[in-house]
Amino acid sequence: MKKTLLITGLLLALCFGVALAQTYKMTPSGFMNADLIRFLYDSQAQHEAMCFNSGALANATEAVSIATAINYTKDGVFGQIATGTIALSGATQEVSTTKLYVFSYDIPNSTTEVTLGAVGETDIHNITTPAGNLVFGYLKIVTDGSTQFVPGTTSTAAAGITETYYNLAIIPSRVRVQLTND
């Protein structure tokens, strides 16, 4: 009896899954083909530049250190971002807040740039970096209930500051799956 119920349950699940796939035009992986093709095309177009190694971003007192030279490619040409420090600047980050500092490299001008996210923004996808720049990492600063962070003055390792460094090859892709009836 238990074996019959199990087989019946599996058959119903299989039939329901097939009906669901046909109703929602889903492939076995769960994506509609048009969305998958658009995602792949956008990813290729967006990632014309890519880092091949981590810059080992770390605290450098009131700045951020690139401890390891970063090798990259853009349009098929190899290059390197040298080791050094990245100065932080901007408005004071108030107590009990989160902010992202996104690091990118302007390849034609050989300059490193910092783009600040809005207070409370925790998604790198919502921060617009200069067009054509290679994003190689970001810093997330969280202040506690009694500490402010003053970029360029306060150490990222100061008491009351939680720092998290992210080294990137490219901006991570974000896929959204939406079920539709059309």
Look at the chain and report how many structural domains it folds into: 2
Give residue 158's pLDDT: 94
Give the predicted TM-score (pTM) of the model: 0.70
CB 139 within 8 A of CB 163: yes
Residue 41's domain comprises 2-46
pLDDT above 50 (res 168): yes
Residues 22 and 107 in one domain: no
Whether 58 is in a domain gets the answer yes
pLDDT in tens, 35-92: 666 655 665 565 578 888 999 999 988 899 999 999 998 877 889 999 999 999 999 9
Spell out the residues 6+ positions from residue 61 whose beta carbon is closer than 8 angstroms to its own: 155
Q: Taking Cα atoms as reference points, which of 13, 44, 42, 21 lies closest to residue 176? A: 42
What percent of the chain is predicted at pLDDT more than 70?
69
Q: Is the dihedral of CA 22, 25, 26, 27 positive or negative?
A: positive
